[in-house]
Amino acid sequence: MEPVDALTEIATLLERERASKYRSKAFRSAAAAIDGLSGAELGDRLRTAHIPGVGDTSRTVILQSLEGRVPDYLAELRARYAVTESTLRTQLRGDLHAHTDWSDGTAGIEAMIDAAASLGHEYQAITDHSPRLRVARGLTAERLAAQLDVIERMQTPIRVLRGIEVDILEDGTLDQTDEMLARLDVVVGSVHSKLRSSREEMTRRMVRAIGSGRMHVLGHVTGRLVTGERGTRPPSELDARAVFAACAQHGVAVEINSRPERADPPDDLIAVALEEGCLFAIDSDAHAPGQVSLLDHGAARAEACAVPAQRIVTTWPLARLEAWLARD
């Protein structure tokens, strides 16, 4: 296989499994360093000199690729991270929640769009954080406006939806100006602070945000963490029936977050959302190109919970989705 393709696939698989971002970046850097070199030229360079950006493991991957075989390391990763795709996964057309290096993602907008396109998606939303989340370099109104200008000038293979993951503040307001929110195609509203608030406070906070008329998706509902390098975190306490009733009333989709460390909302709350008549969005919450493919985790959970495909907005044709986003 082509050395650049092998290095890129390795980086993608490492990102998917949330390995150290430095490991995945090393393989992407190596791919960039050799891009454009012919096989003969690349082989000569590797045998006679060091190529900046190419380490020992990357060098082995390149040499094995030039031999006309799948590199050992890539074969190992493919076997380790093999995915069985659910029927529902094949019906997903895109993703309404992903981050770039404008906030706390590891890659640029173009790389995230290319990753979505490589999976056959019709669209990808770019939803970087809002300003209150400083640890994630959340976007001020000025930086968000600059990002929208960049997206407007881009030539992309699929539809790019301009969006934000906006913080739901303690009083239930949204952490971005109404003017900027009105310019966006999709608004994911999520709670990131004071997750241990009382049941009454959290419910009131979320219901007010849902009723604002600005949100399209309620992100990672409970904020829980069930595994991963950040440790575990219990779900926030809330009146799920009241929150989901508000979602159904205002046409806000409940996110089934595909990150394995979140698995949010829990299965029992998905059942409550179904009973309340909610729509759903299966989203990756990707922070790197390889994580866009995490949608298969969310799809498998939705399928196991018997969520009908027609109630999942990310299965809809793009024209129908855009009409819903525009509240037509």
Give the neighbor-by-neighbor strand order of the sheet with 94-95.
94-95, 123-126, 159-167, 186-190, 217-218, 253-257, 280-283
- Evaluate if residue 113 carries a pLDDT over 80: yes
Mean pLDDT confidence for 100-108: 96
Q: Clarify whether residues 63 and 93 are in a common domain.
A: no
- Mean of per-residue pLDDT scores for the chain: 94
C-alpha 278/C-alpha 73 separation (Å) is 44
pLDDT the model gives residue 39: 82
List the domain range (segments joined by +) for residue 266: 89-325
Q: Clarify whether residues 56 and 194 are in a common domain.
A: no
The answer to whether 98 and 188 are in contact (CB under 8 A) is: no
- For 129-162, write each residue's pLDDT tens digit: 999 998 899 999 999 999 999 999 999 999 999 9
Structure tokens at 175: 């952490």
The answer to whether 204 and 211 are in contact (CB under 8 A) is: no
- For 173-206, write each residue's pLDDT tens digit: 999 999 999 999 999 999 999 999 999 999 999 9
CA distances from 102 to 109, 110, 139, 167, 262 (A): 8, 12, 8, 16, 23
Dihedral pair phi/psi, residue 82, rounded to 5°: -60, 140
Q: Which stretches within the chain are classed as H helix?
A: 3-16, 21-34, 39-48, 56-66, 72-80, 109-118, 141-153, 178-182, 199-210, 240-250, 267-275, 295-304, 318-325
Q: Which stretches within 175-239 are classed as H helix?
A: 178-182, 199-210
Q: Clarify whether residues 97 and 225 are in a common domain.
A: yes
Which is more confident, 47 or 64?
64
C-alpha 120/C-alpha 140 separation (Å) is 32
Dihedral pair phi/psi, residue 164, rounded to 5°: -160, 150
The residues near 318 (Cβ < 8 Å, ≥ 6 apart) are: 93, 94, 122, 123, 159
pLDDT the model gives residue 230: 76
pLDDT band at 227 (very low <50, low <70, confident <90, very high): confident
The answer to whether 161 and 126 are in contact (CB under 8 A) is: yes
Q: Clarify whether residues 74 and 219 are in a common domain.
A: no
pLDDT the model gives residue 37: 87
Q: The CATH number of the domain where 28 resides is what?
A: 1.10.150.110
- Evaluate if residue 19 carries a pLDDT over 70: no
Q: Indicate the number of domains in the chain.
A: 2
Q: Clarify whether residues 124 and 187 are in a common domain.
A: yes
Q: The CATH number of the domain where 206 resides is what?
A: 3.20.20.140
Residue with tokens 């090393």: 26
Closest to 181 in 3D by CA, of 220, 139, 153, 243? 139
Structure tokens at 263: 């698995």
Q: Clarify whether residues 139 and 25 are in a common domain.
A: no
Q: Clarify whether residues 179 and 279 are in a common domain.
A: yes
Q: Clarify whether residues 124 and 176 are in a common domain.
A: yes
CA distances from 148 to 45, 126, 128, 160, 219 (A): 41, 10, 11, 11, 21
Which is more confident, 31 or 327?
31
Mean pLDDT confidence for 239-245: 98
Q: Clarify whether residues 214 and 313 are in a common domain.
A: yes
Q: Clarify whether residues 125 and 61 are in a common domain.
A: no
Which is more confident, 277 or 41?
277
Number of residues written out for the chain? 328
pLDDT the model gives residue 317: 96
